[in-house]
Structure 1
Amino acid sequence: MRFVLDIDGTICFDGQKIEKAIVEALEALIEAGHTVVFASARPLRDIAPVIPRSLQHCAWIGGNGAFYQQDDIVETVAFDETTRNTLCVLLKRHNTAYLADGQWAYAYTGDKKHAIYAKIHKGDGAEQSLDVLQPLCKLVVFEPPTAFLDALSSLPVTVYTHHAERIVDISPQRTTKYDMLKRFYDEPFIVFGNDANDESLFRHAQVSVCVGNHAVGTLATKRIDVHDVAQVLHQLKEEYDGSDVQTTAR
């Protein structure tokens, strides 16, 4: 069986690492013949530091479906040039802080005390100005005004609103974690998630597990506490066949 796991708030609770018991449960899944795919809002650049060496070979879906990587295969979905230009105009017009992600580089104008900034992997040359960042694959906007949000409704984009963090996550149209997953893998799959950006996966999974008490849990086949993730992974390992063969890029 294929296991697809969100990262932050699902298997990583401090923004820095996956808990040891969960790592061991994921290693056990692979040993039993199951496939593990990480599917995060983070870009590939910021997924890398969180995944332990023993799991680095697993497939990564980043940017809510804007990125895919496994071994030498890298797939990127970016805003078209017209949409990119319109977004840049809106950011300047409303003087709105943002995190803009390319394939590896980024542009950031937000508060450096924000939790998102701590998750950015700040390698040499990774930070650029938005004017030169190419391609533009994902945009996080901090505390956007209503006029900015209204303008998004006429653009070919996918928008996730995170009310608690007062941010909106913007990706190219028809870019979701599930859209990227189905480019490379067939169903069925099991998903663990906790946020609105996991909804597309929850709607198509054979089993969907919501970690914590979140609104997306209304679509889940089961809800669990954050302390029970490793245990439930072990249970599902025994319940489902691990004989599927991992699919490569199609």
Structure 2
Amino acid sequence: MRQTVVFDVDGTICFDGRSIPAAIAEALRDLGTQHRLVFASARPIRDLLPVLPPEFHDETLVGGNGAFSRDRGDLRVLGIAHEDRLVLDDIIDRYGLKVLIDGDWDYCYTGDEAHGIFRQLDAGRLASNVPRERIAQYSKAVVFTTDPEVLRRLEETGLSLNVHPDEGIVDIAPSGITKYHALDRLGLTDHGYLAFGNDANDERMLRHAKVSYRVGTHPALAFADHHLTPDTVHQAIRDLARTGARPGA
């Protein structure tokens, strides 16, 4: 039976922010001959495409932690509501925050160019860095802060937040949007799926999976069925191809 297998990207199958290791890419090719592959990332799809080998560009893609989805060439973007945008803009201005704000395609980046997130930004030179006032609809945002007062204000907005203290950022998506909800919108939860992830923004996606794989040691994913290291990911994918991705096989 053809299964759906969902892969987070950064920290799960990509470890340098730029490419997928050859052994993992080859294992994905083998798995993709039998099963449906889905790539689900915190990156917008614009920044996801340069990381994926070209043969995977037509697979189902989820970006922005669920704000973007592309299936059979149909791109859908769920934006932050206008009233939530006004509140977010007020917080940004009040605290003088550096940001990365994504629109449907273009973006606004005011952060430090030495930050790791900048290296991953529009690597394919497919979009433009514009003032945030020129972005018609915010699809997702990143604010560069660890200030507890700012975090409290953001939590009061009701927007979907993923806090990454090790990177000094907060990922912000439209209210109620997660990777799992994007999979549900695409009809991929009806018959179940297998999922690979590595951090807190994969928690709901893995929790609802028929079989879940944690890469690394993030405590939010301690419940996962299988625990992998970056060096064992390719073999786990090969094992799925060999067993037909049957749960429990």
TM-score interval for Structure 1 and Structure 2 normalised by the shorter chain: over 0.9
Return the offset for 1:63. Answer: 0.3
RMSD value, Cα: 1.4
Q: Deviations over 1:176-233 (max 9, x none)?
A: 0000001112331111100100001111001110011111331200101110111000
The question of 1:16 aligning with 2:18 is answered: yes
Matches of 1:153 and 1:30, distance apart in 2: 39
Are the aligned partners of 2:143 and 2:170 in contact in 1 as well (CA < 8 Å)?
A: yes
The question of 1:57 aligning with 2:58 is answered: yes
Are the aligned partners of 2:46 and 2:126 in contact in 1 as well (CA < 8 Å)?
A: no
Matches of 2:111 and 2:223, distance apart in 1: 33
Letter in 2 for 1:104: W
- How many residues align? The count is 241
> Which of 169, 172, 175 is residue 170 of structure 1 equivalent to?
172
Of stretches 224-233 and 65-74 in structure 1, the one that deviates more from structure 2 is: 65-74
Q: 1:201 — aligned with what?
A: 205
TM-score under structure 2 length normalisation: 0.93
Are the aligned partners of 2:180 and 2:205 in contact in 1 as well (CA < 8 Å)?
A: yes
TM-score under structure 1 length normalisation: 0.93
Letter in 1 for 2:202: D
Matches of 1:125 and 1:44, distance apart in 2: 11
Q: Secondary structure at the match of 2:61?
A: strand
Question: Which structure 1 residue ranges, 5 or more long, are not aligned?
Answer: 243-250
Question: Which structure 2 residue ranges, 5 or more long, are not aligned?
Answer: none
> Which of 223, 227, 242 is residue 223 of structure 1 equivalent to?
227
Matches of 1:73 and 1:160, distance apart in 2: 27
Matches of 1:152 and 1:164, distance apart in 2: 18
Are the aligned partners of 2:200 and 2:221 in contact in 1 as well (CA < 8 Å)?
A: no
Return the offset for 1:144. Answer: 4.2
Are the aligned partners of 1:189 and 1:207 in contact in 2 as well (CA < 8 Å)?
A: yes
Matches of 1:44 and 1:154, distance apart in 2: 28
Are the aligned partners of 1:96 and 1:144 in contact in 2 as well (CA < 8 Å)?
A: no
